[in-house]
Amino acid sequence: MNGIRIRGTGRCVPERTVTNSDLAKIVDTSDEWITTRTGIERRHHCTGETHGALCAAAARRALERAGVGPEEIGGCIVATVTGETLVPSAACALQKELGLPEDIPCFDLNAACTGFLMGLHTMECLLTASRRRYGLVVGAEVLSRILDWTDRSTCILFGDGAGAAVVEWNEEFDSISAELGVRGDDQVLRLPGVETGGHSYLTMDGKKVFKFAVEAVPECIDRVLRRTGKAVEDVDFFVFHQANARIIDLAVRKYRIPPEKYYKNIQEYGNTSAASIPIVLSELQEQGRVRSGSRVLLAGFGGGLTWGGALVEFA
């Protein structure tokens, strides 16, 4: 025993919507080309919004939905690769903005698109030793800042946004049974760091990432089901990292997941990296499709290369 459940979720995306047709005006592509290959129809990009503002708005909504006050939070993790500064971290800035307690761990976690999943596992471990029973996990990205707008293999894929979850720890709760891993590769999906001396643009070998993903997602599902002793039928909902609609469709067919048990919003947001899974969770909770007692299997993958899965229940 000793585990966490999700009490409340929230999300925030920029106001500006960028359609496939908008991108076709600046790069050699088309709405049909993007939609058929990725499932993406539009994405949201920041104009005046900041990374910190997205985090704060998503977190406030999660706290409100959870019915938890900032003073009750025992830890804050922001999963991101696009924070406004390396130091202070986005989590430290969020602690100040929300008025979270000063005597709690607050830090950023860099695991690309798997970041929120790794953040949930890390928070479960932290709360085991905390005097407070609630934790805040945020996934947030402003990927539009790091895109090369002449590279159609990447600039069409990514959007900005933030998703947040307030989790509750209890010694009577089951663990989320996170299965996490890394297959180190610094070339398949790369974001150069400050040592380069120039602007850091995201680069990706799309074919290799796709091949990795179609192997990693089923592996994540299998590992979590084996560890928990559950079957597909025991899971109320499946939430996949929204990177490519075809990757999700392959998993759905493999496990014969019925339409009412999975969800795609990639057509609206594109790939929001660490924000992807919590944005889905927020929409599902808002729609009433997941509620107290719902058992949700999360599966994600990202640069690193990283992968992860977990079985999370809603409080």
Beta bridge partners of 306: 182, 302
* The one catalytic residue among 45, 46, 106, 271: 271
E strand spans, the chain = 3-12, 16-19, 42-45, 73-79, 106-109, 134-142, 160-170, 179-182, 189-190, 203-204, 237-240, 295-302, 306-313
Under a CB-based contact definition with an 8 Å cutoff, are residues 35 and 23 in contact?
no
271 is catalytic: yes
CA–CA dist 224, 298 (Å, integer)? 9
Beta bridge partners of 73: 134
In sequence order, the 6+-apart residues with CB closer than 8 A to the CB of 238 are 221, 251, 252, 255, 257, 261, 262, 296, 297, 299
Closest C-alpha among 160, 229, 148, 129 to residue 191: 148
* The one catalytic residue among 44, 45, 51, 241: 241
Helix (H, G, I), strand (E, B) or coil at 157: coil
CA–CA dist 76, 97 (Å, integer)? 12
241 is catalytic: yes
In sequence order, the 6+-apart residues with CB closer than 8 A to the CB of 35 are 20, 41
* The one catalytic residue among 46, 113, 155, 220: 113
110 is catalytic: no
Cite the active site residues: 113, 241, 271
